Amino acid sequence: MLLLRCPLPFLLLLLLPLDSRPQKLPTRDEELFQMQIRDKAFFHDSSVIPDGAEISSYLFRDTPKRYFFVVEEDNTPLAVTVTPCDAPLEWKLSVQELPEEASGEGSGDPEPLEQQKQQITSEEGTELFSYKGNDVEYFVSSSSPSGLYQLDLLSTEKDTHFKVYATTTPESDQPYPELPYDPRIDVTSLGRTTVTLAWKPSPTASLLRQPIQYCIVINKEHNFKSLCAVEAKLSSDDAFMMAPKPGLDFSPFDFAHFGFPADNNSGKERGFLKSSKFGRQTSPKPRVDLHRVCIGNKNIFTVSDLKPDTQYYFDMFAVNTNTNMSTAYVGTFARTKEEAKQKTVELKDGKVTDVFIKRKGAKFLRFAPVSSHQKVTFSVHSCLDAVQIQIRRDGKLLLSQSVEGVRQFQLRGKTKAKYLIRLKGSKKGASMLKILATTRPNKQSFPSLPEDTRIKAFDKLRTCSSVTVAWLGTQERNKFCIYKREVDDNYNEEQKKREQNQCLGPDTRKKSEKVLCKYFHSQNIQKAVTTETIRGLQPGKSYLLDVYVIGHGGHSVKYQSKLVKTRKFC
C-alpha cells in the first residue's frame, strides 16, 4: 500500500495522466511514515488511510464519508478492519484501476483540479466487499490487484465514531491481539454480591510474548462488541483504572451508584452549527451505569459488591499495550443470587431487645401493638459505631436516620398499624445495639444523655495520687457510677477504641475497680456539670476512667473512656 501524505486533490493530481511517460508510484518511506504516524494531527480530518496505522474519525448521520488508499502492485496482501463504535455502519470497499499514464512532470497545462478529481472518482469502481451492522468486520485478501481503493462509510442511525485500520503487511503487523480457540468468558462462581470470571489467555501473550493486558467492562444494559463502543459511552477524559494490588481484586461497585459523567465534547467539533437554524443540535449524553477496569495479564477475576438479584453484562478485551489496539472476547451475562430472606424479629411492647448485625449486614424487626395507640416511641442504643435505621408504618417510610449512642424517636400512632424496622450495620465492622418499642410514653428504659459524653480531666489538679475529672449531666435525675482501671504506659487510643462498647454495664466490671456512685441532675442545663476527685492512685501510673449513667429501667450507657496519668514526682 502506498502511504499518501498530501491533501486528496493534490494526490489525485499526481495520479492523473499529465505526461506520456509512465512513472512508478513512490513506495513507502518507512522512517518518514513512522514519524508521521507519531504526529496524530497529520491524519486528522484527512481522506487518506495510512498503511499500518489505525485512524479514528466521526460520521454525521446520513452524511457519507469516503477514504482512499493506493495499492501500487498486483498480488499484494491487503487487510482492512472497520470498527463501529456507538452505532451500526454501512460500509463498502471498492477498487478502480490506476491511470496507465501518470507523471509528476508535464510540459502541458494540467486540467483544472475539479475536472481531474471528477475524472477519477466519477466512475464506479469494482466492489470488493460490503457490510451493514455494528460488528467489527474485516476484509482480508492474500492477493489484491493494484489500484485506487475507496472505502465508503455511512451511518443512518445517528452521529457516531468509528475506527479504520488498513495494511499491506497483515502477516507481520498483527496489531490486534489474537483470540484463543475458545474466546468465551466463563462464570466460575456466582453469589449474591460477587461474580468470578475466567477466560483463556490470548496466544499473542502466551506464544508471541507480546505485552497484553485484559480490560473488563461491567454494566447492566447489554454486551459491547468493541472497546471503542465502551469508550463512546464514557467520558473522553476518563482514564483506565489502575490494576489492583496483588491478591486484591478491584471492587467497582463499592458505592451506591456507579457511573461516569457524560461526554460533553462530542458537539464541539461542529459548534459553528449552533447559530444556524439548519444545524442539528446535540444533546448531552445521559449517565450510564458502566465501569471498566484493566487488571494486567491475569485471567481470573472476581467482581464484588454487586447488587443481589440483578443481571450484569461482562465483556473482556485483550489490549496490546504496544499498539493500544484491542480484540473483544465473547461477552457473557449473569444474574446475582437473591438476597437471603431475613428472619424478622418480633418486638414486644416495653421490652428491650438486643440486636447483632454483621459487617455491612442488615436486620429486620417488626412491632405490632396489640391495642390502639396515639403515639409509639422507639428508643435505640448503638453500642459501637453508628447504624442506619429505617422505620415504615404499613409500608410507608416514616424516618431514615443514622444513630450513634442513644436516640429516641416518637411517631404518631395509627389503629392496627404494623411497623417494620430495618437496621443496617457499619462498613467498619459488626454492630451491636439495643432497641425498645413502646406505646406507653412514660416507659423509658434508656437514660437520657447530654450531647457531649466526654470526660474532662483537669491537668492542674493532677497529683501523684489523685486526678480530678468532670462530665455533663441532664435535667433528668440519673445515677452515675465511675470506675477506674490501671493500664500499661503504652496503652493507646486504638486499644481504648476497641473497648468502647457502650452497652457493657457496671455489672461487667470488677468490684475493686468501682470508685463511687451518685445521683445528679440540674434543671438549668447550662449548670448540669459534676466533678469528682479520684484518690488512692499510684504515682506515675496510667488509668482508664469510665462513667456509667443508669436509667430508671436499670439499663446503663457508658460515657467515652478517659485515659489519665498521675504525676511521677510531687
**Most distant CA pair in the chain: distance in Å?**
118
Asked if residue 472 is part of any domain, the answer here is yes
- CB atoms under 10 Å from CB of 195, counted, come to 23
pLDDT of residue 560: 87
pLDDT of residue 265: 40
Asked if residue 10 is part of any domain, the answer here is no
Are 379 and 526 members of one domain? no
Are 428 and 375 members of one domain? yes
Are 298 and 412 members of one domain? no
Are 66 and 148 in contact by the 8 Å Cβ rule? The answer is: no
Asked if residue 248 is part of any domain, the answer here is no
Give start and end residues of each alpha helix (H) in 452-520.
493-498
pLDDT of residue 565: 93
Are 234 and 378 members of one domain? no
Binned at pLDDT 50, 70 and 90, residue 1 comes out as very low
Strand locations in 347-503 (E): 353-357, 362-367, 375-393, 396-412, 419-424, 431-438, 456-457, 467-472, 478-487
pLDDT of residue 455: 94
Among candidate residues 452, 474, 444, the one with its CA nearest the CA of residue 381: 444
| Cα 136 to Cα 84, 141, 174, 319, 510, distances in angstroms | 7, 17, 16, 15, 75
Tell me the mean pLDDT in the region 95-121: 52
Binned at pLDDT 50, 70 and 90, residue 9 comes out as very low
User: pTM surpassing 0.85?
Assistant: no
Are 180 and 325 members of one domain? yes
pLDDT digit string, tens, across residues 359-397 = 888 899 999 988 778 889 898 888 888 899 999 999 899
Cell output for 95: 477498487
pLDDT digit string, tens, across residues 10-23 = 344 344 333 333 33
In three-state secondary structure terms, 138 is strand
Are 182 and 193 members of one domain? yes
Q: How far apart are CA 304 and CA 296, in angstroms?
A: 18
Are 476 and 540 members of one domain? yes
Q: How far apart are CA 334 and CA 138, in angstroms?
A: 30
Q: Distance of alpha carbon 255 from its chain centroid, rounded? A: 8
Among 280, 313, 340, give the residue marking a domain's end. 340
Are 386 and 506 members of one domain? no
Are 329 and 212 in contact by the 8 Å Cβ rule? The answer is: no
pLDDT digit string, tens, across residues 333-349 = 999 998 777 688 999 98
- Total domain count, the chain: 4
Binned at pLDDT 50, 70 and 90, residue 467 comes out as very high
pLDDT of residue 275: 31
Strand 76-84 with 160-167, pairing: antiparallel
pLDDT of residue 244: 43
Residue whose C-alpha cell is 497483515: 170
Strand locations in 204-352 (E): 212-219, 290-294, 300-303, 311-320, 325-328, 332-335, 344-346
CATH of the domain at 129: 2.60.120.680
Q: How far apart are CA 40 and CA 498, in angstroms?
A: 58
Instruction: Supply the range of the domain harboring residue 536.
Output: 455-565
Are 299 and 411 members of one domain? no
Among 377, 404, 438, give the residue marking a domain's end. 438
Is residue 270 scored above 80 in pLDDT? no
Are 205 and 302 members of one domain? yes
Are 232 and 333 members of one domain? yes
Which of 309 and 489 is assigned the larger pLDDT? 309
In three-state secondary structure terms, 181 is coil
% the chain with pLDDT above 70? 76
Among candidate residues 360, 262, 377, the one with its CA nearest the CA of residue 308: 360
Burial tier of 549 (Cβ tally within 10 Å: 0-12, 13-18, 19+): buried
Are 301 and 410 members of one domain? no
pLDDT digit string, tens, across residues 36-88 = 444 444 444 468 888 888 888 888 999 999 998 888 889 989 999 999 988 89
| Cα 200 to Cα 206, 247, 314, 327, distances in angstroms | 10, 20, 15, 13
Binned at pLDDT 50, 70 and 90, residue 235 comes out as low
Asked if residue 251 is part of any domain, the answer here is no
Tell me the mean pLDDT in the region 159-169: 90
